[in-house]
Amino acid sequence: MNPNLYSAKVAESIEKRINDLDRHDDPLWGKMDAAQMLAHCSEVLDVYSGRKPFGKLPRMAWFFKWAIKRVVIGKKPYSKSSPTLPQFKITESKSFDYEKGRIMEAIDYFRSQSKKESESIRHPLFGRMSMKDRGWAMYKHLNHHLEQFGV
């Protein structure tokens, strides 16, 4: 069974890893610094929580939505060179302390949603997703980026 961000034990372990992250940690791959990575992950959580609109999708995403969904909810980890949709690219400087608080709040909000609330949110590419798939997708994404910074 895949880890799921809705699990208290899993969320606790993710939050501990976030707390172990240091503003000066260098990424093992990619271009974002630690604050930008936290901002990126918060943006994704806010979209999956229904708090923020998804934004405009590139036309090619529509043609490959079945493949993208397979990557997002599949068991295989993200590759280090996974592409990022334009609306989730963070290139400007961010405050590490602010972004750390923001991601903790975004995780709490995501986890506070009831099954009915969670499953009523329509993903722009994947449609309605089960709570199990949503919790796994968010764990997988956070884990990928925490591994990027060695935590």
Q: Are 103 and 94 in contact (CB under 8 A)?
A: no
Report pLDDT digits (tens) over 72-102: 888 998 989 788 877 889 999 999 999 999 9
What are the domain boundaries of the chain? 8-148
Compute the distance between CA of residue 19 and CA of residue 10 in angstroms, rounded to an integer: 14
Report pLDDT digits (tens) over 9-56: 999 999 999 999 999 999 999 999 999 999 999 999 999 999 987 767
> What is the model's pTM?
0.92
Q: Are 67 and 111 in contact (CB under 8 A)?
A: no
For domain 8-148, say whether CATH 1.20.120 is its number. yes
